[in-house]
């Protein structure tokens, strides 16, 4: 699958066999990030080929 990923203001096309693999390639294991598609929160299973998603890293604060 191929997905357009935006994280911290940077966008790139990423490719991999699954969304979990793509997230891992971006440096975010699936449990460390929330996914937005068209501005709404979606589960990882709802991401399909050629989707544009935004990653919200869970880690914040101190």
Partner 1 sequence: MRCRCGRKAVYHRRQSGQQLCAICFSKSIHSKFRKTIRAHNYVEKGDTIAVGLSGGKDSTVLLHLLSDLKKDRPFEMEAIIIDEGISTYREKTIEVAIKNCEILGVEYHIYSFEKEFGVTIDACDSRVCSHCSFCGVLRRNLLNQKARELGAKKLAVGLNLDDEVQSVLMNFLRGDLFRFGRTGPSYTESPYFVPRIKPLRDILEKEVMLYAILSKIHVDHSVCPYASEAFRGDIRDFLDRMESKRPTTKYSLLRSYDRLAPYLQEQFTSTISLCSQCGEPTIDTICKTCSMLNTIKKMKER
Max intra-chain CA distance, the chain: 36
Task: Supply the minimum distance, in Å, between the C-beta of residue 35 and partner 1.
Answer: 10
Q: Tell which residue, 46, 44, 52, 54, has the closest CA to residue 6.
A: 54
Residues in contact with partner 1, counted by CB under 8 A, come to a total of 21
32 contacts: CB under 8 Å, gap ≥ 6: 57, 58, 59
Task: Supply the minimum distance, in Å, between the C-beta of residue 59 and partner 1.
Answer: 6
Is 29 a binder of partner 1 (CB under 8 A)? yes
Give the residues lining the site for partner 1 (CB under 8 A): 20, 24, 29-34, 40-46, 56, 58-62
């Amino acid at each position: 699958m191929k997905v357009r990923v935006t994280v911290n203001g940077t966008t790139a096309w990423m490719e991999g066999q699954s969304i979990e693999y793509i997230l891992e390639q971006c440096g975010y294991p699936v449990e460390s990030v929330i996914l937005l598609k068209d501005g709404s929160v979606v589960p990882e299973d709802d991401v399909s080929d050629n989707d544009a998603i935004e990653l919200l890293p869970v880690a914040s604060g101190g």
